Amino acid sequence: MLSLKRLLDRSPTAQATLVFLLGLGVTALFRRDEHPAVWVFQSALYTGIAIAVLAVQRRRIARAVGTDAGGLADLNRKIRHHEVPQDPEERAAMRRLAAEQLGQMERAGKWLPYWLGAMGLVVVGMFVLGAVSGSLVFPLLFAVGMVALCSWVLWMRRRSLDRLHGMRQALRQE
């Protein structure tokens, strides 16, 4: 499991393969009546868009931090494992990475209440559609899934902020 996690952390090809397979499965699940070639085409399109966005973000952050993609993956792993680097250059890169990610999360946090409100409106809309159609089973399952997703996003955000603040504090102390 650890090697798979490291492979997905470092390899854009492994990430693209995973996104393609997940996209293919979801597309096949929701579009059973269409030809499998359509599933493959749509999954390839989704994969291309996702990998392009990730590559642009990774390149921008790596440029801001002053390292390459492999070094960026190592720095992110060290943040996750609470490892403070000893090398002065690596410490400076870690400091820039923590500042960049904290700034990005704070900017995104301004939109978080609106995002959560939109998710709430979608859930309410699903309940209204369910009440009109006479079945509340799917809207109830959807609401539970949406609450779980939003709770997970908030938990991961809090955890990431704690890690980044902890790393920034550790880099200041030494």
The mean pLDDT value for 138-149 works out to: 92
Q: Are residues 52 and 91 in the same domain?
A: no
pLDDT in tens, 79-107: 988 999 888 899 999 999 999 999 999 99
Domain that includes residue 91, residue range: 87-174
Q: Is residue 1 part of a domain?
A: yes
Q: Are residues 123 and 59 in the same domain?
A: no
pLDDT in tens, 131-142: 898 888 888 999
Q: Are residues 54 and 96 in the same domain?
A: no
pLDDT in tens, 24-48: 999 998 888 999 999 999 999 999 9
pLDDT over 90, % of the chain: 57
Is 24 strand, coil or helix?
A: helix
Q: Are residues 116 and 153 in the same domain?
A: yes
Letter for the amino acid at 13? T
How many domains does the chain contain in total?
2
Q: Are residues 102 and 137 in the same domain?
A: yes
CA-nearest of 106, 104, 82 to 94 is: 82
How many CB atoms are located within 10 Å of the residue 140 CB? 14
Count Cβ neighbours within 10 Å for each residue of 113-125 and write b for 16 or more, e otherwise. Answer: eeeeeebeeebee
pLDDT of 56 over the 70 cut: yes
Q: Are residues 52 and 123 in the same domain?
A: no
Q: Are residues 44 and 108 in the same domain?
A: no
What are 28's two structure tokens?
A: 């096949």
Q: Return the pLDDT at 174.
A: 65
Residues 6+ apart with CB under 8 A from 7: 14
Q: Return the pLDDT at 158.
A: 96
Residue that terminates a domain, selected from 16, 31, 65: 65
What are 67's two structure tokens?
A: 């390292």
Q: Are residues 108 and 31 in the same domain?
A: no
Q: Return the pLDDT at 145.
A: 93
Q: Are residues 54 and 104 in the same domain?
A: no
Q: How far apart are CA 58 and CA 64, in angstroms?
A: 10
Q: Is residue 172 part of a domain?
A: yes
